[in-house]
Amino acid sequence: MAPLLDVQNLVKHFPISGSRKTVQAINGISFTIEKGQTVSLVGESGSGKTTVGRCILGLIDPTGGGIYFNGRKMGRDHNVRHRDVRGRIQLVFQEPAESLSPRVRVADLLAEPLIYQGVTRPDRERRVLEIAARVGLPTGLLEKYPAELSAGLQQRIGIGRAVITRPEIVVLDEPTSALDPTARAEIVDLLIGLQRQMETAYLFISHDLSTVRFISDRVVVLYLGSIVEEGPAATVFATPRHPYSTGLLASVMLPHPSLKPEKRLTLVGEIPSPIDLPPGCPLAGRCPFAEDKCRAAFPPPVALGHGHLVHCINHEKVAAMGAAVDFFGRFQVLADRILGVAPTLEKDTVQ
Amino acid sequence: MADFQPATETAPLLRVEHLRVSYQSFESAAVPALRDIDLTIAPGEMVGLVGESGAGKTTLARSIMGLVPRPGRIDSGRIEFRGQVMAELPDEERRAILGRHLAMVIPNPRSELNPVLTVGQQISNVVRAHSKLGAAEARQTALRMLEAVRIPDPGRRLNAYPHELSGGMAQRVVIAVALACEPSFVISDDATSGLDVTVQAQVLELLQDMVRSRGASALFITRDIAITAHFCDRIAIIYAGEIVEIADTAAFFDRPAHPYSIMLLAAFSHSGDLRRRWTRTEIAVNGSAAGCAFAPRCVRRQPRCEAEHPALRTTHSGHAVRCHFPVEG
Amino acid sequence: MGLVRYIGRRLLFVAPQLLGIIMVSFFLVKLIPGDPAVLMMGPNASQQALDELREKLGLTLPLPQQFLHYIVNVVHGDLGTSWQTTRPVLDDLMDRFPATLELVTLALLVALLIGIPLGIVAAGRSRGPIRKLADVYGLLAGAIPDFWLALVFIYIFYSTLHIAPAPLGRLDLEVVAPPIVTGSMLLDSLIAGDFDALWSSASHLMLPVMTLGLVNAGPILKMTQSTVERTLSSDFIRYAEMCGLPKRTVMRQAVRASLPSIITIVSVLYGFLIGGAVLVEIVFSWGGAGQYAVQGVLNADLNPVLGFVLFSAVFSLVVYLFVDLLYFVLDPRTRG
């Protein structure tokens, strides 16, 4: 059976007006998402992850390659605007405050996607109540306007709007970046809970690795529009094999002084602009392991088992250093101790 | 009231005592933004101030600078910087201190740097406002600062405009502006929240190096508690305008005592069970005004928490905690 | 580099813009009721004479064809003749447009000298006498019609105090006009070294310039004040305050950042005044272009009207191009 979403050799180049140069946002990437699965696209701004999301929704036409939703190619006459697809692929934005119309009540915001599906009014009202309960919006808030609510609650509305049509897949574009860490954790828990109930697949686009770690089944690491590493989330986070993923993970800060960002592995400089990229591995300019061979051609994938793929000729050298980076694993041990104490009080200490 | 002076013998650089700030409003009663803040920072010390948006972090930073955002007002308490009460200084004297001895690193450099002035002009403007240097010398200082913040090709960047810089680069420029006059105290207000993780790590590292190598102090304001673990000597947690816990970094992360501090850490845990254990998911109505501000969200809430406002007190492990039932041991 | 290309692209659009303006005004002007032939020949003309005249004027042709003729003539530098003055419209406008331009330009300078400093100072403070003054001034300047102020000035300075000359044109009757070089009386007198003419033209300019200047300082004041106020509460000014920059420097940065908006309103005002000064021109018998066009409208003399529209349009386009160049200099973000 075909996967739910199949991205095949996707390419997207944007011409620059008044110039012969192009922005090479995506340069031939392939991945699949199965029913009820969460795949995360991670990478810095400029890596092309948002462009992938927009291509999947059919908001922009790819330059090359194809996107197959339930085996059918997405394109001009088969995208989210069409009746067959509408409501089956949904989107959640980064800035809830900006994506929600300020003059519409919460209840109407939630009901809006159903109108386009032709759901009758009594049905809409019933489903709004049902979805509000599912995303943790008290019914008292349904008559309010989004600006009266906190960012965390606003994002619940954004998620409610997305899942109210019972989509098969939701594209989440940085849904937690604008939130405080505590609100972020709550939203992630909500998403995980919804997925269990509704068997929705998620494409989770984020540069926030802590959140990605919570939620993903598979992780796809993007750099300048190319996939450099992909695999099961736990494997990639614990044993990254590409210098870029390793550097990315080494930069993550977790709340304990013993988990210092690993300086030996941090990538020098910043991501270059994706205009007229040279051939070869896009990371070559920033990579401590780069050789001439890296600049000649983009390395083919090396399979490391269990679906873990890495595009690096020096992945073994990286593995030797990368072992030090399993911050998430180490933090979990600390967290177990710190958070492991009983939160509620014993009766006798209350006095 | 307990005294939270750090172990050093020297007089504090910054002393905030019983500070109360509220936002005035025509329609309703004044909204308290800061409630009874006590905080001292010693020379050379880096203190992290962690809290959610709306907790009063930025109000505190602005109050320290003597620039309380309107319609805010200092109701009571005092702020002393280098022995001087900032709020009482005449405008000219306050300007002489800001940027010179007390510098600010801001979060959105691309909207907060002047869009029509070059990077070089913006740094030299600050240098010239606080020294007798001429234009050429100030430009030299600007160049030196761009080198110091490790901006590639500093000579060329001197003539760049803010919109021509990447986010990370602009953040480095802001650090250059802040440290150009060798201030003794730097406030960083959520300075890296908009950056990618790799750039964020580099910029924070740089800020820490620059502050430490100059023997300056810093107040490091952020909503991301993870950052403070790696760059600060002491951690202060602020909730709803009150400091709810202060401790040395090692002690704090070894055993956070306030339920809110623990909740902040829990947000990073991979285990959903542990996260939920410390987070109240049901949205409670506002707690009583008399009780603890955190009570409605607290998993350890007891009847006493609703009735009595907890004072900041020191636990066995040396944390100052504003909680009737802190986690100890 | 970018600048040259930018100007080139702008100039490319000038011709179609002008064509559009002429087309719209041509057909609108044709909607004005009134038969030029009747007005030209007088009420006693025979039907045959009228028909011949209409034929001669091309009024019998269908409108699109008339328009085409007009365009072809314009391209050849022929704006037609005015039957009132019996002179080519181009010659008439070459005389009159500079008169209006001189008046309006000087008035605008006066308005800027009053409006901008007052607006900036008022923006810097929320109370005090200067702020009061600015508020009252803005209100009055918005409420007082310019022709009324002109009449008051004439009453005070001409009729009562006898300081100003009679409100009859640009020079005293006994003064010989200097040879035309620029079209501006002041400049031409200076070039000719004719100080009698210089004095006479300056004193005639005095009252109309003050009238228009004082009235139009109002919108400039208001616009400057609100723009500078908005800039003063912007992020980068707050940052400048945090850096302890002196108050004067902060103010200078705020004004600098406000300049593009101020320039925009000034340029719009400049273009507007070319026609908007007409009432003041009439009160002072200025003999300017606006007056000429209004006469044309009232007497179904259409060529002067169209000529005036064309001149004003060209003028506005030149002003806007200049403004865009100023933006280019002032705001580095437009140079991308």
ipTM of the complex in this document: 0.88
Which residues, in sequence order, are bridge partners of residue B314? B320
Residue C294 maps to a domain: no
Distance CA B124, CA B141 (A): 7
**To the nearest whole percent, how much of chain B has pLDDT over 70?**
94
Residue C162 maps to a domain: yes
Among residues A212, B162, B283, B125, the alpha carbon closest in space to that of C245 is found at B125
| Mean pLDDT, all residues of chain C | 88
The sign of the torsion formed by the CA atoms of A308, A309, A315, A316 equals positive
pLDDT band at C2 (very low <50, low <70, confident <90, very high): low
**Whether the predicted pLDDT of A1 surpasses 80:** no
Distance CA A59, CA A63 (A): 13
Residue C157 is given by DSSP the state I
Among residues C213, C219, C222, the alpha carbon closest in space to that of C119 is found at C222
Asked if B113 and C247 come within 8 Å (Cβ–Cβ), the reply is no
Contacts of B168 in chain A (CB under 8 A): 270
Q: What is the tally of structural domains in chain C?
A: 1
Contacts of C331 in chain B (CB under 8 A): 115-116
Kindly report, residue by residue over A149-172, the tens digit of the pLDDT.
888 889 999 999 999 999 999 999
Asked if B125 and C245 come within 8 Å (Cβ–Cβ), the reply is yes
**Whether the predicted pLDDT of B288 surpasses 70:** no
Contacts of C253 in chain B (CB under 8 A): 114, 117
pLDDT band at A348 (very low <50, low <70, confident <90, very high): very low
- Which amino acid, A24? Q
Distance CA A12, CA A26 (A): 5
Asked if B262 and A338 come within 8 Å (Cβ–Cβ), the reply is yes
Contacts of B186 in chain C (CB under 8 A): none
Peptide bond into A146 cis (omega under 30): no
Q: Is C77 exposed, middle or buried (0-12, 13-18, 19+ CB in 10 A)?
A: exposed
Which residues, in sequence order, are bridge partners of residue B14? B41, B81
Residue pair B107/B167 in contact by the 8 Å Cβ criterion: no
- The larger pLDDT score, comparing residue A292 to residue C34, is at A292
Contacts of A350 in chain B (CB under 8 A): 302, 304, 325
Distance CA A47, CA B17 (A): 47
Size of interface B-C (CB pairs under 8 A): 72
Cβ neighbours, 10 Å, residue C23? 13
Nearest to B201 among A261, A341, A343 (CB): A261
Distance CA B84, CA B65 (A): 12
Kindly report, residue by residue over B146-197, the tens digit of the pLDDT.
988 888 889 999 999 999 888 888 998 999 999 999 999 999 998 887 788 8
Residue C36 maps to a domain: no
Show the domains of chain B with their CATH numbers: 14-101+181-321 (3.40.50.300), 112-180 (no CATH)
Chain A residue nearest residue B258, CA to CA: A343
Size of interface A-B (CB pairs under 8 A): 148
Residue C26 maps to a domain: no
pTM: 0.84
Residue C64 maps to a domain: no
What residues have CB less than 8 Å from A300, skipping those under 6 apart? A311
- What angle (nearest 5°) sits at the alpha carbon of residue A251, between those of residues A245 and A256? 125
Residue C249 maps to a domain: yes
Asked if A341 and B275 come within 8 Å (Cβ–Cβ), the reply is no
- Which amino acid, C89? V
Asked if C332 and B129 come within 8 Å (Cβ–Cβ), the reply is no
Instruction: Report the Cα A16 to chain-centroid distance in Å.
Output: 27
Residue pair A25/A14 in contact by the 8 Å Cβ criterion: yes
Cβ neighbours, 10 Å, residue B135? 11
Radius of gyration of chain C (CA): 24
Among residues A278, A269, A274, the alpha carbon closest in space to that of A247 is found at A269
Among residues C114, C125, C157, the alpha carbon closest in space to that of C266 is found at C114
Residue entry with tokens 């004072």? B311
Nearest to A270 among B199, B255, B264 (CB): B199
Query: In the sheet where A89-92 sits, what is the strand order?
Result: A89-92, A169-173, A201-206, A38-42, A218-223, A226-232, A309-310, A302-303
d(CA B84, nearest CA chain A) in Å: 34
Mutation choice for B interface testing from C242, C245, C256, C329 by most B CBs within 10 A: C242
Three-state DSSP state, B43: coil
Asked if B198 and A248 come within 8 Å (Cβ–Cβ), the reply is yes
- Give the helix/strand (H/E) hosting B105: strand B102-105
A289: its two tokens = 């392991």
d(CA B121, nearest CA chain A) in Å: 24
Q: Which chains touch A (3 or more CB pairs under 8 A)?
A: B
- Which amino acid, A318? V
Distance CA C112, CA A98 (A): 40
Residue pair B234/B45 in contact by the 8 Å Cβ criterion: yes
Asked if B99 and C243 come within 8 Å (Cβ–Cβ), the reply is yes
Kindly report, residue by residue over A323-344, the tens digit of the pLDDT.
667 888 888 888 888 888 877 7
pLDDT of residue A20: 78
Residue C39 maps to a domain: no
**Whether the predicted pLDDT of C290 surpasses 60:** yes
Mean pLDDT of A80-86: 78
Q: How many CA atoms lie within 13 A of A6 on its CB side?
A: 12
pLDDT band at B8 (very low <50, low <70, confident <90, very high): very low
Show the domains of chain A with their CATH numbers: 5-216 (3.40.50.300), 223-265+273-290+298-340 (no CATH)
Phi, psi of C247 (to 5 degrees): -55, -40
Residue entry with tokens 């967290």? A335
Kindly report, residue by residue over C193-202, the tens digit of the pLDDT.
888 999 999 9
d(CA C124, nearest CA chain B) in Å: 15
The 3-class secondary structure across A107-146, one letter per residue, is: HHHHHHHHHHCCCCHHHHHHHHHHHHHHCCCCHHHCCCCH
Q: The domain containing residue C158 runs over which residues?
A: 97-289
Kindly report, residue by residue over C151-202, the tens digit of the pLDDT.
999 999 999 999 889 888 888 888 888 888 888 888 999 999 888 999 999 9
* Chain B contact residues (CB < 8 Å to C): 65, 67, 91, 94-100, 103-104, 106, 108, 111-118, 125-126, 129-130, 161, 163-164, 177
Phi, psi of C122 (to 5 degrees): -65, -35
Residue C204 maps to a domain: yes
Residue pair A173/A50 in contact by the 8 Å Cβ criterion: yes
**Whether the predicted pLDDT of B287 surpasses 70:** no
CATH classification at residue C197: 1.10.3720.10
Asked if B269 and A339 come within 8 Å (Cβ–Cβ), the reply is yes
Nearest to B223 among A180, A252, A336 (CB): A180
Residue pair C166/C95 in contact by the 8 Å Cβ criterion: no
Residue pair A107/A143 in contact by the 8 Å Cβ criterion: yes
